């Protein structure tokens, strides 16, 4: 029995299936089954399901209580491979891949869907272009060859597998939802915002603050309108360019204090207030929708509900079921550790080989013990700080950790020059518009075909219009943030595996943080599983290095108690 099977949904809930050989081609006849769920459920020996897109198949399986161990998502692979080939502007659907393969007209990708509160089946909505099984397998077999054609096939294969695993995790988390107490959420809102008035107007506390701001200016001011606030300050003889917090904070005026408080509370009211609760929480769960690989760097995004931007005060509403716990695990200083692993800087790897405070260790070596300076320098190197004390600190960092700084500097230069830049596992950063490939690349070295001049504006909004220095900063950050995302995918995949025999389930993932919801008696097992998964992910992603990836973990009933 083959361990890899291809599957495509057929009409009326059925499915077509075929076992695959080592070359990715069919190792047996196509089987037609009347029921897709049964077809999968009755083949537990299949180690990896190959399908067009997890979002097309998996929600249906999960609704029927069927999970699969592994999958290969053809459209995920297509996206990664196109990037690798310097063809990121081309349509990435399986139908498009097939058309390229056969020389037909290439259909454009269906448009992105916008958020819609509470829509569970939304992963189905962008009308999947049906590709029959035989043709799907053609695309798959070709993708195997394209993986082989890359300079580091094992890395790109790992990335495809990891991102495919990510789609499974996302599907499962979308199905389970995040435990959420609407009651506690309402208590928090009432505490912060006060009475809620009929008609949807400002709640009591915001109305009071509006009055305070107005009184301080001596006229009626709407604190939620930046233009109004700028004008009011001007009339008071104070010039401000904007009403951004950091700019207002520097101003001395009686309106500042109530204004800043207003901004904080207003934000909670509009983004995570009563109407949010109404829209996104059902049956004790926040129904979020993860989109793996939704960003250029490989970080995930969520669709609707702002699930990755939950304000800290609102986290009080995230509460485990009775008798259950939340295991909240947060990677410690992930980005500098990733920088150590990808640059192989001996000094930084040594520092990142300890579980102790990384910034303190860096400061002991390069900043005479000043931790704040050390942290600023490291983040400046990663984010591309170009002015102020950041530059001075960066110079100090460069003296002690030359390879680490050179790594991100190289990426920045490559970005400025419009060359391809890749993460450790080979996710590709888009080149600049009209850039001709000059052969060398940053990130993992490889021999790529020439980069075509493509209109990047289409798939990276704002990208074409930014200047080359901005592209440099983008590329500099990309290699670190993106390689961190590579690692995080492997972490999720490993953690998912070790939770598979437990009642525990992953319910939240935010770049470098996970939450597992589990029976209280499983909590210790889960904590250990997270540590093991982090180590395994580090080895699988970056190979054998001294770098460790420690987590701060907390077993709590309420998310807010984790920190």
Partner DNA sequence: AGTTTCGGCGCC
Partner DNA sequence: AAAGGGCGCCGAAACT
Binding site for DNA (CB under 7 A): 115, 224-227, 230, 242-246, 248, 250, 263-264, 267, 270-271, 276, 279, 294-297, 299, 301-306, 308-312, 372, 376, 379-380, 383-390, 460, 470, 473-474, 477-478, 481, 510-513
Phi, psi (deg, nearest 5) at residue 519: -60, 145
* 536 touches 494 (CB < 8 A): yes
306, two tokens: 């702002």
- Maximum C-alpha span of the chain: 82
Q: Which is nearer to DNA, 24 or 431 (CB)?
A: 431
Q: Which is nearer to DNA, 68 or 514 (CB)?
A: 514
CB of 230: closest distance to DNA in angstroms? Answer: 7
CB of 484: closest distance to DNA in angstroms? Answer: 9
* 67 touches 432 (CB < 8 A): no
Q: Which residues of 119-128 are buried (b: 16+ CB within 10 A; e: fewer)?
A: eeebbeebeb
Cα distance between residue 85 and residue 98, in whole Å: 16
DSSP assignment letter at 120: G
Paired with 325 in beta bridges are 518
Q: Which is nearer to DNA, 24 or 550 (CB)?
A: 550
Q: Which is nearer to DNA, 170 or 296 (CB)?
A: 296
CB of 303: closest distance to DNA in angstroms? Answer: 6
* 55 touches 120 (CB < 8 A): no
Helix axes 94-102, 74-84, angle to 10 degrees: 60
Q: Which is nearer to DNA, 144 or 477 (CB)?
A: 477
Dihedral over Cα of 282, 283, 285, 288: its sign: negative
102, two tokens: 């056969």
CB of 179: closest distance to DNA in angstroms? Answer: 18
CB of 241: closest distance to DNA in angstroms? Answer: 8
Cα distance between residue 138 and residue 230, in whole Å: 61
CB of 490: closest distance to DNA in angstroms? Answer: 17
25, two tokens: 């081609």
Paired with 514 in beta bridges are 329, 509
CB of 385: closest distance to DNA in angstroms? Answer: 4
Q: Which is nearer to DNA, 133 or 328 (CB)?
A: 328
Cα distance between residue 438 and residue 424, in whole Å: 20
Q: Which is nearer to DNA, 18 or 229 (CB)?
A: 229
List Cα–Cα distances, 506 to 148, 299, 498, in angstroms.
33, 17, 11
CB of 295: closest distance to DNA in angstroms? Answer: 4
CB of 265: closest distance to DNA in angstroms? Answer: 9
Q: Which is nearer to DNA, 413 or 511 (CB)?
A: 511
* 100 touches 92 (CB < 8 A): no
Q: Which is nearer to DNA, 224 or 440 (CB)?
A: 224
């Amino acid at each position: 029995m083959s361990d890899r099977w291809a599957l495509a949904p057929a009409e009326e809930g059925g499915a077509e299936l075929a076992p695959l050989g080592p070359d990715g081609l069919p190792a047996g006849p196509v089987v037609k089954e009347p029921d897709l769920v049964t077809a999968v459920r009755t083949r537990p020996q299949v180690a990896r399901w190959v399908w067009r897109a997890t979002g097309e198949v998996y929600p249906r399986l999960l609704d029927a209580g069927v999970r699969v161990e592994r999958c290969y998502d053809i459209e995920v692979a297509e996206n990664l491979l196109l990037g690798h080939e310097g063809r990121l502007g081309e349509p990435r659907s399986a139908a498009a891949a097939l058309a390229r393969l056969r020389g037909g007209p290439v259909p454009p990708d269906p448009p992105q869907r916008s958020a819609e509160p509470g829509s569970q089946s939304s992963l189905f909505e962008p009308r999947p272009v049906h590709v029959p099984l035989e043709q799907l397998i053609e695309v798959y077999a070709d993708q195997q060859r394209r993986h082989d054609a890359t300079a580091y096939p094992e890395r790109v294969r790992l990335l495809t597998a990891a991102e495919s695993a990510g789609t499974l995790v996302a599907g499962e988390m979308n199905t389970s939802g995040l435990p959420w107490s609407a009651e506690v959420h309402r208590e928090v809102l009432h505490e912060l915002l006060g009475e809620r008035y009929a008609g949807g107007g400002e709640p009591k506390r915001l109305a009071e603050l509006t009055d305070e701001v107005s009184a301080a200016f001596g006229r009626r001011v709407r604190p939620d309108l930046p233009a109004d606030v700028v004008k009011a300050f001007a009339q008071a003889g104070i010039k401000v360019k904007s009403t951004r917090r950091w700019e207002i904070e520097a101003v001395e005026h009686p309106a500042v204090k109530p204004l800043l408080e207003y901004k904080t509370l207003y934000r909670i009211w509009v983004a995570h207030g009563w109407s949010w609760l109404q829209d996104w929480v059902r049956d004790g769960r926040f129904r979020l929708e993860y989109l793996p690989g939704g960003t250029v760097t490989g970080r995930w995004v969520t669709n609707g509900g702002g699930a990755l931007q939950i304000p800290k005060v609102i986290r009080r509403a995230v509460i485990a079921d009775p008798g259950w716990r939340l295991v909240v695990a947060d990677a410690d200083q992930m980005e500098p550790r990733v920088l150590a692993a990808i640059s192989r800087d001996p000094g930084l790897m040594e520092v990142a080989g300890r579980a102790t405070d990384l910034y303190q260790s860096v400061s002991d070596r390069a900043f005479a013990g000043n931790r704040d300076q050390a942290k600023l320098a490291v983040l400046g190197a990663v984010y591309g700080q170009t002015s102020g004390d950041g530059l001075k600190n960066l110079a100090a960092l460069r003296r002690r950790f030359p390879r680490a700084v050179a790594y991100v500097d190289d990426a920045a230069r490559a970005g400025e020059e419009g060359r391809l830049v890749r993460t450790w596992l080979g996710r590709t950063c888009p080149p600049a518009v009209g850039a001709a490939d000059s052969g060398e690349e940053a990130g993992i070295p490889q021999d790529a075909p020439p980069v075509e001049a493509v209109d990047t504006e289409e798939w990276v909004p704002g990208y074409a219009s930014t200047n080359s220095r901005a592209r440099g900063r983008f590329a500099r950050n990309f290699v670190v943030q993106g390689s961190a995302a590579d690692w995080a995918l492997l972490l999720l995949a490993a953690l998912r595996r070790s939770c598979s025999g437990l009642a525990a389930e992953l319910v939240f993932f935010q770049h470098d943080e996970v939450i597992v919801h589990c029976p209280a008696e499983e909590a210790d097992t889960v904590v250990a599983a997270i540590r093991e998964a982090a180590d395994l992910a580090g080895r699988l992603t970056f190979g054998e290095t001294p770098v460790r990836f420690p987590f701060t973990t907390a077993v709590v009933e309420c998310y807010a108690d984790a920190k």
